[in-house]
A = this chain, B = another copy of it.
Amino acid sequence: MDQDGMDPKDWQAFRRQAHRMLEASLDQLEQVRDRPWKPVPESVQQGYAIRGEGGDVVDRITRDVLPYHGGNIHPRFWGWVQGSGLASDLIAGMAGAAINANVGGRDHGAVYMERAVVDWTRTKMGMPEQAGGVLTAGTSQATVIAFQAARVRAMAEVRKTGQQGTRLTAYAGQGVHNATRKAMELLGIGADNLRLVPLMDGQMDGGALARMVAEDRAAGAVPFLMVGTAGSVDLGLFDDLNMLADLASEQNLWLHVDGAFGAWTRIAEDPWYSLTDGLGRADSIALDFHKWMYVGYDCAIALIRNVADQRAAFAARPAYLEGADRGLAGGDPWYCDYGIDLSRGNRAIKVWTALEMHGEAAFAAAITDNCRMAAYMADRVTAAPQMAMGAQVVSNVCVFTARADLEAAAQSALNADIAQTLQETGEAVFSTTRVDGVVMLRAAITNHRTRAADVEAALAAVADLAAR
């Protein structure tokens, strides 16, 4: 190898390349309104094949990568629940690449920054000071971490002995996000041991839950976990978290809350703020930054009420990871003791830069505004002659059908076709879900770029297609 390993031979040339990449990235952000999702041409798909020849990649990325984003950065994207990204991600992306931190442990800046992000989030969610937390890729990962902590609290020896012999059972409302089922599968507890509790007025029915727990106990199972939902994926509904916390305490169950996006109503104005009353009483909360805090993918957090439970579930230090009282091997916590990963990227810098650059008030205003936009969309749907709401808007999710006058099957076909067509024309991105078996259009507004005019334009496009 020559002098500088794989570093650029000509730094001036590389600096020019990098500034060109930055300009192209800035152009993309500034012109995002004119750059909706569009299908990736087959030639571009195949062009991604790795050649491995080396060279200036900036033109290729500008031409073949930037235009083919997933659409979520566009002001009229409301599909699934996806965040829209922030200008601060660009700053964090550069600084993050320059420090290349492995935040699994040891004593360096990124560890302290993650601690600051965990602390801030813990406070906003109303959790006590002894709570622990670790940043994760998403709520799915955070759910796995929380459930393992819950299991270890219920079965102190399970890390050694494994699951066999004890049938644990967990409880969640019908419509709970699939992350809960996948975590039950992964942990070897089994999806059959997740009990789906009926909803009453869109919330888990506490009476039914208590009866199911009693039945399972009578049948020899060990109920250990209750999963509350703060923002259901289909309809944006919220469980009564205070009621669940009372029940969890009575029944000696771990209360986990899936707050993937909905937990962020904690920084919104009322009436949305009150949706998450009681959240801080949970034993664990899983939530994303990349959805309703708009931060770049991926970025989430697992918060655990008692950090001792988190360490009990994950801490382990073989000889090659021994800590030290000084030097680079010092410091505490080592985040590898708080979750699955030993090597961990620097997600905290995205959240930190977002809050410090945009300010907390801007997030509070944007989240509140997204709820208002969902309500506005519902108003316009209700006022439109043939459209109808599929469910009441509670937070930021609006589900509706384009033609309530058609039969179920025809509605399903039409709504599915409208979703696809609007995606392809770039006019708007709705996803679909089923309400009583009917495919409906669904907007989950976690997008700080959405304005009232966007809602109007999208609904006009829906009406146009529905009239054909």
Contact = CB atoms under 8 A, between A and B. Distances in A.
A97 B86 CA distance: 8
Interface string A395-423: 00000000000000000000010011101
A132 interface: no
Interface string A140-159: 11001000100100000011
A340 B99 contact: no
Contacts of A82: 102, 343
A192 B19 CA distance: 54
The count of identical subunits is 2
Interface string A13-37: 0110111011111101110100001
Given A14-B87, A316-B178, A433-B319, A362 B193 contact: no
B340 A141 contact: yes
Contact of A140 (B164, B191, B342, B434): B342
Nearest to A448: B5
B65 A108 contact: no
Contact of A341 (B14, B140, B341): B140
A119 B109 CA distance: 36
A60 interface: yes
A138 B104 CA distance: 11
A329 B429 CA distance: 10
A217 interface: no
Contact of A101 (B70, B113, B442): B70
**Of residues A87, A186, A442, which shows the largest number of chain B Cβ atoms within 10 Å of its Cβ?**
A186
Interface in A81-100: 82-100
Contacts of A87: 6-8, 14
A214 interface: no
Contacts of A342: 138-140, 178-179
Interface stretch (A203-211, A240-248, A320-328): A320-328
A376 interface: no
Interface in A410-468: 416, 419-421, 423-424, 429, 431-434, 442, 447-451
Interface stretch (A51-59, A274-282, A301-309, A382-390): A51-59
Interface residues of A, number: 183
Contacts of A316: 178, 181-182
A329 to B, nearest CB: 7
18 contacts: A5-B75, A6-B358, A7-B448, A17-B91, A73-B100, A84-B100, A92-B97, A100-B297, A137-B341, A137-B345, A141-B340, A161-B190, A162-B163, A290-B345, A291-B343, A296-B345, A324-B416, A327-B420
A4 B449 contact: yes
B188 A162 contact: yes
Interface in A60-80: 60-61, 64-73, 75, 79-80
Given A22-B94, A326-B424, A356-B51, A343 B102 contact: no
A109 to B, nearest CB: 3
**Of residues A98, A163, A360, A448, which shows the largest number of chain B Cβ atoms within 10 Å of its Cβ?**
A98
A25 B188 contact: no
Contacts of A52: 120, 355-356, 359-361
